Chains A and B, each alone.
Chain A
Amino acid sequence: MLGRLSLLLHIASRHILVRRRQTGVAVGGVAVGVGFFLAVSALMVGSQSDFVKQLIDVAPHIIISDELRSPTPQPALREFAGGAVDIHGYRVRNEVRGLKDWQRILASANAIPGAIGSPSLSGAVTLRLGGRDEPLGIVGVEPGIEAKVSNIADKLRYGSLDNLEKVQGGIIIGEELGQRLGRGMGDIVPATSSNGTTKSLRIVGLVKKGNSQLGSSTGYMLLREAQSLLGRPFIINRIGVKLADPYDAERVAGTLEARYGYKAQSWQERSADFLSLLLTRNVIMYTVVSAILLVASFGIYTAVSNSVADKRRDIAILRSMGFSEGDLQLVFVLEGMALALVGVLVGWMLGWVLMNILGGLEFHIGGDVQHIPLDRSPRQYLIAAGASLASGVFASWLPARKASRVDPVDILRGAV
């Protein structure tokens, strides 16, 4: 069996080696296809995973908030379920009383292996400085837990999350807001909540600029202090959950929402628009790649077809010697595969070179030197190889079938 394969491969490779020009064209086609596929997909996948990573990390994977997706059914509807009762134009009273039973929700979030839930209370206050009112959303958190759930700690230019516990009335605000207010680390800002409570807060941390999510209008406080400032003791209205596997978020969010009724929003839902954009990008990429591979397979088809046409005499000889139809078919499929394989190897090198060129480019953005995010995982190499080999087999299949159908009698009789 192995001997047969190596013999047929031997014959196939001789055929290929004799036809240098056609072989070169076919191999070149595959190589260019594979090389550019690698470069393009490294770019696309690299930028995509970079982007998705940012989408995932910018906030907890799941946010459970005290909103309801749809209002609780009206009592009348509940009473006459299935009856001819319909109610129009009623006003829904927003249940903004915080998450009821939040300890239980938190406990069940924490019960998921590898998951951590962080309770928080958000609300709005006004910072009053020199006659100017500056609205600020504040989020009260447990610093120890929040640090594990969000990456806020990494985004701090000055100070740390722990400072919230150390300093009475500590607050972390955005760098931009600080500049606008003319306040820096250790300065005091007076904050007034909507129920009239006023408190002096001390800036214990500044979040780096250029962070859209934690932009200029959000401040972090200790949960306890936020509750008292907002006049809502013991209440929380948000639980952020971080999962071991971010891609499980959608499912987990669904379960939590079904169980407790509160809106549980996964990062996928939060960024559905971006994700559909990515989908389009992927469709475009794979279309382009398929087109490249299709062109490459034309090269293989032509090479193998011509080889079959050229070698009709040899086919007849081999048949008369006792090679079977299957043997002859395999010879020419192997030719296609060999062309594809050599093309893949050359294409890998080409792709590697292209990636290094792309990876070497430097961009200066916001004072930092940045490189294009590239995905250099072996997966791309394997996909390219698999697709090329498959198209090589596919492209050589028809001519190879034709080869196996050659009637030796016609050729032996007519041979000159």
Chain B
Amino acid sequence: MSDPALVARHLRRELEGDPPAVLVADADLAVQPGKFTAIVGPSGCGKSSLLYLLGLIDRPTGGQLLFDGRDLAQASGDERARIRLEHFGFVFQFHFLLPEFTAFENVMLPLRRLGRLSLREAEARANQLLGDVGLAEKGWKLPEKLSGGERQRVAIARALANNPRLVLGDEPTGNLDSVNSARVVELFRDLAHQQGRAVVCVTHDMGIADLADIRVSMLDGRVVEVREQAPRT
């Protein structure tokens, strides 16, 4: 197995209080590239909290988070933002597109912020990403004119804009019907298997969890089991 994309060691997240509320307790986890990892567990067990820590959106109160051999737990906000921009892509349960920007412009946002491509190249890439999720014709639409499934696919295209090594989803199918849900899951599996990205997905849906390569089970803020599953189709 290749080097993990991201390693969490004793990752901890507490909220101040007396006694402090423990959202994530000493989580140990290695996120593998080319694998689709599902995080499952009962509601309120800390799945989202762990995902935000892994995605550098939230800061742990203890432990280490190793990326490229560096501990990012205590890195500066700007540095963490930079790594999110270059290497991480997020998809949330609610599509979270900027409402004033068209689908195409939403996909352009991370491309323009990173500024690695010329405007032309960026536009070509945005169009291609939208085409990949089957929305080549709808890029000019504002999010409010798109269906829920279409919005989520735009969000996925946007998450992939800068060609991230990690794709993180917090119940990305939670709001979709079964057809759309299956499409998104298929996309995510491709991201891992075809494109070699590390994909981590929080889900309630056991059907999705069964399709994952690695299944991480949580309970009361703890990672209680990390199980590799046989590949399925």
List chain B residues, Cβ under 8 A from A17: 100
* Cα distance, A327 to B113, chains bound together (Å): 10
* Cα distance, A327 to B85, chains bound together (Å): 12
Residue of B nearest to A322 (CB): B85
Contact A3 B98 (CB under 8 A): no
Q: Is A318 an interface position by the 8 A CB rule? A: yes
Chain A nearest CB from B84 CB (Å) reads: 4
| Interface of B toward A, CB cutoff 8 Å | 48, 52, 55, 57-58, 77-78, 81-86, 88, 90, 92, 94, 96-101, 109-110, 112-115, 158, 162, 170
Contact A313 B96 (CB under 8 A): yes
In the complex, which of the residues B81, B94, B96, B98 contacts A322, with contact meaning CB atoms closer than 8 Å?
B81
Interface of A: prevailing SS: helix
Contact A415 B92 (CB under 8 A): yes
The CB with the most chain B CB atoms within 10 A, among A316, A321, A323, A409, is that of A321
Q: A319-B57, A324-B78, A325-B78 are in contact. Are A7 and B112 (CB under 8 A)?
A: yes
Q: A14-B100, A415-B96 are in contact. Are A320 and B112 (CB under 8 A)?
A: no
* Cα distance, A415 to B57, chains bound together (Å): 15
Q: A4-B115, A325-B81 are in contact. Are A416 and B57 (CB under 8 A)?
A: no
| Interface of A toward B, CB cutoff 8 Å | 3-4, 7, 11, 14-15, 17-18, 313-314, 316-327, 408-409, 412-413, 415-416
Task: List 5 A-B pairs, minimum CB-CB distance, nearest first.
Answer: A322-B85, A322-B84, A324-B81, A14-B100, A3-B115
Residue of B nearest to A324 (CB): B81
Contact B94 A416 (CB under 8 A): yes
Contact B115 A412 (CB under 8 A): no
List chain A residues, Cβ under 8 A from B94: 415-416
List chain B residues, Cβ under 8 A from A18: 100
Contact B57 A412 (CB under 8 A): yes
Chain A nearest CB from B174 CB (Å) reads: 12
List chain B residues, Cβ under 8 A from A11: 98
In the complex, which of the residues B52, B84, B88 contacts A412, with contact meaning CB atoms closer than 8 Å?
B52
A-B contact pairs, 27 of them (CB 8 A): A7-B109, A14-B100, A14-B101, A15-B100, A317-B98, A318-B109, A320-B90, A320-B96, A321-B84, A321-B85, A322-B82, A322-B83, A322-B84, A322-B85, A322-B113, A322-B114, A323-B85, A325-B81, A326-B78, A327-B113, A412-B57, A412-B92, A412-B96, A413-B48, A413-B52, A415-B96, A416-B94
The CB with the most chain B CB atoms within 10 A, among A11, A316, A415, is that of A11
Contact A7 B98 (CB under 8 A): no
In the complex, which of the residues A3, A324, A326 contacts B112, with contact meaning CB atoms closer than 8 Å?
A3
List chain B residues, Cβ under 8 A from A317: 96-98
Q: A3-B115, A408-B57, A413-B48 are in contact. Are A323 and B100 (CB under 8 A)?
A: no
Chain A nearest CB from B167 CB (Å) reads: 13
Chain A nearest CB from B206 CB (Å) reads: 23
List chain A residues, Cβ under 8 A from B99: 314
The CB with the most chain A CB atoms within 10 A, among B88, B92, B158, is that of B92
List chain A residues, Cβ under 8 A from B100: 14-15, 17-18
